[in-house]
Amino acid sequence: EDQVTQSPEALRLQEGESSSLNCSYTVSGLRGLFWYRQDPGKGPEFLFTLYSAGEEKEKERLKATLTKKESFLHITAPKPEDSATYLCAVQVLYNFNKFYFGSGTKLNVKP
């Protein structure tokens, strides 16, 4: 059965305290793994797409990496404005290229 699991469910960090969020998946035929940021009551904001194991993408304080079984979103020296829920989604070869979302990690960065 296809599964996408994100951990931890919630994460509290002090400003400047680096950490990583995890997205593990058990799917066949991965076509892409996508990271999104979602603020309360708003639509998800696209961050990164990763296509193959070993790939890395960076944007400001965020860096996403991909292995054959999981992806990490590394947050370096976070600021309070990085507080949000981070969602990962996997797209599989079969089933009309639908996105399968994880449940998200709620990040809270305290000043």
Contacts with other proteins, residue ranges (CB under 8 A): 31-32, 34, 36, 41-46, 49, 51, 87, 89, 91, 93, 96-99, 101-104
Residue 18 or 103 having the CB closest to other proteins: 103
CA distance 59 to 24: 21
CA distance 33 to 41: 24
Q: How far is the CB of 18 from other proteins (least distance, A)?
A: 25
Residue 35 or 72 having the CB closest to other proteins: 35
CA contacts within 13 A on the Cβ side of 58: 3
Q: How far is the CB of 42 from other proteins (least distance, A)?
A: 6
Bridge-based pairing state of the strands 10-14 and 105-110: parallel
Radius of gyration of the CA atoms of the chain, in A = 14
Q: How far is the CB of 75 from other proteins (least distance, A)?
A: 20
Residue 8 or 16 having the CB closest to other proteins: 8
